[in-house]
Amino acid sequence: MHNDMTPSHRLKELGIQLPTAWAPDSRSGPLPRLLGANVEVYAEFVRVVGRRATISGHLPVDDDGAVCGPFGRVGVDVTVEQARSSARRAMLGILASLARELGTIDRVSAWVRLFGLVNGGPDFRDYPTVINGASRLVYDVFGGEAGKHSRIAIGVGGLPFDAPVEIEAEVELNE
């Protein structure tokens, strides 16, 4: 991997295809399909204000951009390795939303912060290992400098669709 590669080149080099990104207000996307026709979606997936982009909480998605399993609590229904893979799939969804909003992920000049939420069983505490699935992908695609980020990984009592993990993020954009 060359340091002068762009993030979109690195994606290709790594053989990663981004999932389908759908608009938050889409009436035909996977979320309305799951939630029913009357779903109201008010939040943006990516909010750009100046050179900052804040990214809404993303659940793990399959290649079609639909929320995907395994579902359940980590340490009970879902293994740590599965949850780590789900965290990677949530980050793939974030990259897809960024590409949709910005045209290309190459407009991201620096990662700032990840907020990782783990739907952990009563005795599960190894939240960092789960969220490493997302952090690792960021470093692989954006490199050791632009990919740097602060992070907080916590356990929550539940997540929408009983997903094992959810990721929120913030990045800085090129001028």
By CB under 8 A, residue 82 contacts a second copy: no
Rank residues 63 and 170 by Cβ distance to a second copy and give the closer one.
170
Give the residue from 46, 48, 89, 87 showing the smallest Cα distance to 66: 89
Closest to a second copy by CB, 50 or 103: 50
> Which of 63/107 has CB closer to a second copy?
107
57 is written with which tokens? Answer: 């909480």
Listed ranges 9-17, 53-61, 62-70, 85-93: which one lies at the site for a second copy (CB under 8 A): 53-61
Task: Tokens 């779903």: give the residue.
Answer: 39
| Choice from 4, 15, 37, 40 touching a second copy (CB under 8 A) | 40
Is 93 a binding residue for a second copy by CB under 8 A? The answer is: no
Nearest to 46 by CA among 174, 175, 168: 168
Distance from C-alpha of 76 to C-alpha of 42, rounded to nearest angstrom: 33
